[in-house]
């Protein structure tokens, strides 16, 4: 069975500061990894994903995440956050051999960006 | 319409009511999903449909009944729900494994059971 642990339930940070949201997963099989963001009263938006290839993946709005197989981690980072980045962030994992794409989600991390 | 749409956005129902949630995807995908998002709990997968066939039922109570009449539409029929079923119900769709079954979500239906 797979599981995802997001180590911080809330991360407060000042605007323009760097941030790291931590995600660790447990799986006995090869995985795909995803980060989703959820703004208040909205659904989940795909932020970035790792399927294969380069272990460093980037989003269009400045976030990046690095797949570390030995540490079973997929931490999300941004060098300088904006007020508009305030949201809940979910890390998710799926079995790369799955024929359904079933996602297992972490509990979420609330990023609170303060002015 | 673009992406994944869900209606209604908000629903309040009594325990004896019957209602349905609707999801429509405009992305040409061939798989659709229902998730439940409760406060303080991780998102829970409920059902998966691939090519209009149910391929996963994640031990969901029978008071939730999904229907997938075609690859663009997904319904969740609700009857005799309990207050603990109050949650945000999210629909998602994906294409095949070429894209790792990357899922795209709708805005959700906020359900309140009185």
pLDDT tens readout for residues B92-114: 999 876 677 899 999 999 999 99
- Residue whose pair of structure tokens reads 């070429």 in the numeric block: B98
CB contact under 8 A, A101 and B107: no
CB contact under 8 A, A101 and B94: yes
Q: Which pLDDT band, with edges at 50, 70 and 90, does B58 fall under?
A: confident
Q: What is the pLDDT of residue B1?
A: 63
Q: What is the pLDDT of residue A101?
A: 85
Per the CB < 8 A criterion, the answer to whether A93 and A25 are in contact is yes
Q: What is the pLDDT of residue A41?
A: 83
- Is the predicted pLDDT of residue A15 greater than 70, yes or no? yes
CB contact under 8 A, A43 and B105: yes
- Three-state secondary-structure class, residue A1: coil
Residue-wise pLDDT for A44-84, tens only, equals 999 999 998 999 999 988 999 999 999 999 999 999 999 99
- Asked if the C-beta of A45 comes within 8 angstroms of chain B's C-beta atoms, the answer is yes
Q: Which pLDDT band, with edges at 50, 70 and 90, does B55 fall under?
A: confident
Q: What percent of chain A has pLDDT over 90?
A: 82
In terms of C-beta density within 10 A (0-12 exposed, 13-18 middle, 19 or more buried), how is residue B4 classed?
Answer: buried
CA distance A42 to A88: 11
Per the CB < 8 A criterion, the answer to whether A23 and A106 are in contact is yes
Residues in A touching B103 (Cβ below 8 Å): 34, 46, 101, 103
Q: What is the pLDDT of residue B34?
A: 96
């Amino acid at each position: 069975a797979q599981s995802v642990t997001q180590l911080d339930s809330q991360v407060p940070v000042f605007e323009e500061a760097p941030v790291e949201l931590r995600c660790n997963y447990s799986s006995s099989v090869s995985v795909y990894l995803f980060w989703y963001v959820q703004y208040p009263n909205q659904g989940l938006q795909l932020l970035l994903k790792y399927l294969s290839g380069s272990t460093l993946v980037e989003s269009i709005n400045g976030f990046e995440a690095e797949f570390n197989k030995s540490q079973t981690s997929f931490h999300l980072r941004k060098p300088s956050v904006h007020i508009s980045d305030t949201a809940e962030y979910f890390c998710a994992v799926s079995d790369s051999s799955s024929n359904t794409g079933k996602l297992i989600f972490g509990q979420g991390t609330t990023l609170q960006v303060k002015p | 319409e673009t992406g994944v749409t869900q209606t209604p956005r908000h629903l309040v129902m009594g325990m004896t009511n019957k209602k349905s949630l609707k999801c429509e995807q405009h992305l040409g995908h061939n798989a659709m999903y229902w998730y439940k998002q409760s406060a303080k709990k991780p998102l829970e997968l409920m059902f998966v449909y691939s090519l209009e066939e149910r391929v996963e039922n994640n031990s969901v109570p029978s008071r939730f009944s999904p229907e997938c009449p075609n690859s663009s539409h997904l319904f969740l029929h609700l009857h005799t729900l309990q207050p603990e079923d109050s949650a945000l119900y999210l629909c998602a769709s994906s294409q095949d494994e070429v894209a790792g079954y990357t899922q795209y979500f709708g805005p959700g239906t906020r359900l309140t059971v009185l």
